[in-house]
């Protein structure tokens, strides 16, 4: 059995002479939350719609839990749960009766206790017997997740799942996804809310103009050995002069009277600290500054656009 919940190989979508998705490949590991990021129109939703077979592929392969979608379509899809747009339900039925309806439609047998399990997992125990028309948007999203995982899929795919949710609803939804991942379900999620993706995902891919431009771990340091740090000192102006004199290759910016922002190789940071102390600069704190996902996203997509326009 494959060690990946999802493998996308050279996925391509063309409409006429226009290439919407261009040779995209990535893998989603078992038990991880993988984010698909990109500006509006980058091709994220097209990729997802091809994976779940809502639209045809122009080229490429989709393998779900080791099963090729072209060769074993039914078995591959049985390992998949998805919410591609806002989940739709029979509004005049209760949440429970909606889940019973989906249970009867499932390809594989679902034990009677499973509805209770997924209801508890998404936190709908108190409202599951209420009519769906009384549910808030957040509750409907949670019911959608319950329906999507009812048959215990190995992979859950969500396209913009937090659209319309308030901050509390987004936080709760993030916690439900982490709980699913901890129990072994892999999640592929597309979203434009970068701050939420930073808290939610283990790894991410950035799509720009239909092409995959980077795949990275959320905690991964930049491939170069350059680190951004902030020194808190008693005299940032004098400290900056010393750094310029002894370490002319270091990136440098004074941030107020007691803050000094420095970009330098990792092994250079303690040398800078030693030099400052030897020159009677008081160093109160050294803070490692990690770029936010938003900053990394803008940096990467900005470079891609410059290259495209060149």
Which CATH architecture best describes the domain 4-217? Answer: 3-Layer(aba) Sandwich (3.40)
On average, the pLDDT of the chain sits at 83
Q: Which fold has domain 226-288?
A: Alpha-Beta Plaits (3.30.70)
pLDDT at position 63 is 94
Please compute the mean of the pLDDT values over residues 82-96 and round it to a whole number: 86
pLDDT at position 51 is 94
pLDDT at position 223 is 45
Please compute the mean of the pLDDT values over residues 107-123 and round it to a whole number: 81
Summarised one tens digit per residue, pLDDT across range 152-200 is 888 999 888 777 677 777 787 788 888 888 888 899 998 777 777 778 8
pLDDT at position 250 is 82
Summarised one tens digit per residue, pLDDT across range 238-251 is 998 899 889 888 88
pLDDT at position 305 is 53
CA atoms within 13 A on the CB side of 37: 28
Strands (E), the chain: 4-15, 18-29, 33-37, 59-64, 67-68, 80-83, 155-159, 186-190, 203-208, 211-217, 226-233, 251-254, 259-265, 283-288
Q: What is the number of other CB atoms lying within 10 angstroms of the CB of residue 307?
A: 10
pLDDT at position 290 is 62
Q: What residues does CATH 3.40.50.300 cover in the chain?
A: 4-217
pLDDT value at 276 more than 80: yes
Q: What residues does CATH 3.30.70 cover in the chain?
A: 226-288
pLDDT at position 297 is 62
Per-residue pLDDT band for 299 (boundaries 50, 70, 90) equals: low
Instruction: Report CA torsion sign: 264, 268, 272, 273.
Output: positive
Please compute the mean of the pLDDT values over residues 134-150 and round it to a whole number: 86
Tokens (6 digits) for 246: 């002894």
pLDDT value at 139 more than 80: yes
Per-residue pLDDT band for 301 (boundaries 50, 70, 90) equals: low
Distance CA 34, CA 191 (A): 11
pLDDT at position 19 is 92
Summarised one tens digit per residue, pLDDT across range 211-227 is 888 887 776 544 445 67
Per-residue pLDDT band for 267 (boundaries 50, 70, 90) equals: confident
């Amino acid at each position: 059995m494959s060690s990946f919940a999802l493998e996308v190989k050279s996925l391509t979508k063309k409409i006429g002479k226009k290439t919407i998705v261009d040779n995209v490949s990535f893998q989603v590991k078992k038990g991880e939350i993988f984010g698909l990021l990109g500006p509006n129109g980058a091709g994220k939703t097209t990729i997802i719609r091809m994976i779940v077979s809502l639209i045809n592929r122009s080229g490429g392969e989709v393998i779900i839990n080791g099963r090729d979608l072209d060769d074993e379509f039914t078995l591959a899809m049985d390992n998949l749960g998805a919410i591609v747009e806002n989940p739709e339900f029979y509004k005049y039925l209760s949440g429970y009766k909606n889940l019973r309806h989906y249970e009867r439609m499932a390809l594989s047998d679902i034990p009677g206790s499973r509805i209770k399990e997924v209801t508890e997992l998404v936190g709908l125990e108190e409202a599951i017997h209420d009519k769906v028309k009384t549910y808030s948007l957040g509750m409907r999203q949670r019911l959608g997740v319950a329906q999507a995982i009812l048959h215990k899929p190995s992979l859950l795919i969500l396209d913009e799942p937090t659209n319309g949710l308030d901050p509390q609803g987004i936080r709760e939804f993030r916690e439900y996804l982490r709980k699913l991942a901890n129990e072994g379900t892999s999640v592929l999620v597309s979203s434009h809310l970068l701050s939420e993706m930073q808290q939610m995902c283990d790894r991410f891919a950035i799509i720009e103009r239909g092409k995959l431009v980077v795949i990275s771990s959320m905690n991964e340091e930049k491939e170069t050995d350059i680190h951004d740090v902030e020194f808190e000192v008693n005299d940032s102006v004098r400290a900056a002069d010393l750094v310029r004199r002894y370490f002319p290759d270091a990136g440098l910016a004074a941030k107020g009277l007691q803050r000094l922002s420095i970009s330098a190789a990792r092994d250079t940071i303690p040398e800078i600290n030693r030099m400052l102390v030897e020159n009677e600069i008081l160093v109160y704190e050294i803070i490692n500054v990690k770029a936010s996902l938003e900053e990394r996203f803008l940096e990467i997509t900005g470079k891609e656009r410059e290259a495209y326009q060149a």
